[in-house]
Amino acid sequence: MIDIPAILERLTQWMEFVRRYWAFESPSDPLWIAVLIVPMGFVLALWGARLTRAAYVVGFMVAGAAVGIKVARQYEWELLIGLVLGAGVAGVVGHVLYRWWIGLTTGLVAAAVVIGLMAPWTLRQAEAFADTLLAQATGQRLFTVTEPPGAAEPGAAAPEPAVQEGPVVDWAAVVAGLRPGEDQPMPSPSALIVAWAKAVWAAVPDESRNTILMAVVVGLLGLAIGGIFPRLTTIVATSVIGVMAMTAASVYLVSTKAPATWEAIQAKPLWLDGAMGLALLVSLAFQARRGKLRQIVPAAPPVPPAK
């Protein structure tokens, strides 16, 4: 049985981590966001596979237009030329290599799921690394770990550290504080990711090795499946994401507005699993119905000419 509440809780923890360390403001009324997510998930679950190619092409065109405008400004060309050329070339690349992008996206998402959801220690290591950067840049921590007295005595078992939550710090100030001097460039996101990977490898080498190996295997498998069966991959992916989005939004709405009903659902978790499984089956069947092989109707024999 899939532990849906545990998966949703893990996703919520990662979202909270990103919001706090990047200083994202919580929406004033998240209820409306949940209300909007339900129909968006519904559309994705039923028509997501048909919209995927258009979404990729539009996304590539937007990115290409941004790059084209930047290049045009750099070489003092007409902005319209850079916009049209960038959007056109990127749109063609997105359309022609659509099968490759589906495979690449599938592999990256599968690897991210393994790292983020299947390995609980990665969240703790991410918090510890971000706290190190915060302390270096601003002298503050979000999770200040204090070592209890007597923990360093020989032969004494190290107790669990006391964790005290601190104030939210602006991540922009952290990145700015990491610069050695005003004339030095700010560290790129890739440099921060590499530094975090090195810190995690040094802290937990065995867990890192096993998780990376599993993520690489799953990622390559996702790349192969997505590249060979792009339609099947998009049907399954959009169905799962759409149903998960509807489930998460519905759980939030029910737990917020009808806590008694939510307690009853928690008492019988098979209800939630069954409803989600039924919705997933309906979504898969609805999207796959267009992929059925059409019956080949033999052509009618020619009518002999009238004598």
Identify the weakest region by mean pLDDT among 95-104, 234-243, 244-253.
Answer: 244-253
Least Cα distance to 131 among 161, 108, 158 occurs for 161
pLDDT score at 172: 52
> Does the pLDDT of residue 147 top 50, yes or no?
no
Indicate the pTM of the whole model: 0.68
State mean pLDDT over 241-262. 87
Contact 166, 142 (CB under 8 A): yes
pLDDT score at 167: 41
Identify the weakest region by mean pLDDT among 3-12, 70-79, 237-246.
Answer: 3-12
Identify the weakest region by mean pLDDT among 19-28, 81-90, 149-158, 209-218.
Answer: 149-158
Least Cα distance to 210 among 129, 126, 122, 130 occurs for 122
- From its phi and psi, is residue 297 left (phi > 0), alpha (psi between -120 and 50) or beta? beta
For residue 87, count CB atoms less than 10 angstroms from its CB and return exposed for 0-12, middle for 13-18, buried for 19 or more: buried
Between residues 28 and 286, the one the model is more confident about: 286
Contact 45, 243 (CB under 8 A): yes
